[in-house]
Amino acid sequence: MRIVKASLYLLPLLILFFYGCDGQEKLNPLQKGIKTEILPDQQSINSTVNFSDSGKVIAILHAGIIKMYYTRNETLLENNMQVDFYDENTRIEATITGKRGRVDDLNKDIYIYENVVVKNDSGMVLTTEKLMWRNADKKIWTDEFVKIKTKTEDIEGYGFESDQSLRNYTIYKVTLKTEGNGL
């Protein structure tokens, strides 16, 4: 009789044990249907990321939402973003703002999209819809339409490349240039 009682108690425990060891991941009801491969590995709200070279800060990125994807080697920037570029004396020499962006985590290039505005410390303002900052040579580049306003001129065109301070720049296909109507 004791063996029968012991096996009656042991049987449910064995069933639970083997049911729990079926090798399939158990999701709670809120997780069912979520494709975990599209979720970021890390996410932060209202964050700041410093970029430095040999211990000197060269840029500081601010974003409303930062989503890091390790397997894709990229970081997505959402909810308005700003990148401040610093000179060798740690003064802001230029600022780029945009609605969203992306950082290539392998080479640290930054891509900025939608309502992109670049302002430098001498008052020059560039507007476009897409811009890239190349980390390797610290250059700003786009193949999109750009507008530039300075104190002495307005320039429009397609394709643009500049140093990050916007001091030495080239517009590849100028479509409009007016002098005296600048800022």
Does 106 fall in a domain?
yes
Rounded to 5°, angle at Cα 181 from 179 and 183: 120
Does 89 fall in a domain?
yes
Does 82 fall in a domain?
yes
Percent share of the chain, pLDDT over 90: 59
Q: What is the CATH number of the domain that holds 77?
A: 2.60.450.10
Of 48-57, 93-102, 157-166, 174-183, the range with the lowest mean pLDDT is: 174-183
Q: What is the DSSP string of the chain?
A: -HHHHHHHHHHHHHHHHHHHTSSSPP--TTTTT--GGGS-SEEEEEEEEEEEETTEEEEEEEEEEEEEETTTTEEEEEEEEEEEEE-TTS-EEEEEEESEEEEETTT--EEEEEEEEEEETTS-EEEEEEEEEETTTTEEEEEEEEEEE-SSEEEEEEEEEEETTSSSEEEEEEEEEEES---
Does 64 fall in a domain?
yes
Does 100 fall in a domain?
yes
Does 159 fall in a domain?
yes
- At 99-132, the pLDDT tens digits run 999 999 999 899 999 999 999 999 999 999 999 9
Torsion of CA 9, 13, 15, 16, to 10 degrees: 150
Number of domains in the chain: 1
For residue 14, pLDDT beyond 50:
no
Tell me which residue range forms the domain holding 103: 40-179
Predicted TM-score (pTM) of the model is 0.75
Does 123 fall in a domain?
yes
Does 59 fall in a domain?
yes
Average the pLDDT over 23-49 and give the result: 72
Residue 30 dihedral angles phi and psi, to the nearest 5°: -75, -20
